Amino acid sequence: MRTQNEEARKLKKIEIMNTCFDCYAENGLSSVGIKAIAKACDCSVATLYLYFDNLDDLIIQSVEYCMTKVEDDFMAKAPTDVEDLWRFIDEIPYWTAKEHGKKYRLMYQVYTHPKYRQYGQKFFKGVDERYTEYAKSLEGKLGLPAEKITPLIFILIRACVHYALFEDEFYLKSQIDVLKETLELFLAKYSPKARSGTFTE
């Protein structure tokens, strides 16, 4: 059973990770040092080292924790039925850019850095697993096989992240148009509602 001290320590660590991540997202990876992080967290550098081995450990854990939360936010906005698919696809890239653009830019700064690349590989392996499970949860709601939903999720995520990074409307529209056409084909093949003619965009 978790003690009060353990719970308090966990909450403090989460608070530090959130603050650290926000600082780097706002200012860039190379512009914030350990003293600035400690000041933002309203604690000493020594206190930070009670929770993390060093600055690299703080960065790695903060990015992994906060970007997993971003995934949860994305999943929470997912459509609950076929009729809501098109609204979701049209709105989610702009929501992602507005709410999480800085976070994605930081994530790629960190995970493309040679020092942290191995941690990026590990993180994205977890992304693959989490979105595969997410696709399984949508199977009954959308009437599509999970193995068809999974790659479509990755296409949509790629479109959203690219737009969040660069606000490239041409790239976004190209990806979204192909995604919608593919969905229409899959729905016509697999969805009873679509086959019966009751589905409309």
What would the pLDDT profile of 70-115 be if each residue is shown by its tens digit? Answer: 999 999 998 888 889 999 999 999 999 999 999 999 999 999 999 9
pTM > 0.85: yes
More confident residue, 195 or 163: 163
Q: What is the DSSP string of 19-84?
A: HHHHHHHHH-GGG--HHHHHHHTTS-HHHHHHH-SSHHHHHHHHHHHHHHHHHHHHHHT--SSGGG
Res 197 pLDDT > 50 = no
Whether 201 shows a pLDDT value over 80: the answer reads: no
Half-sphere exposure of 179 (CA within 13 A, CB side): 24
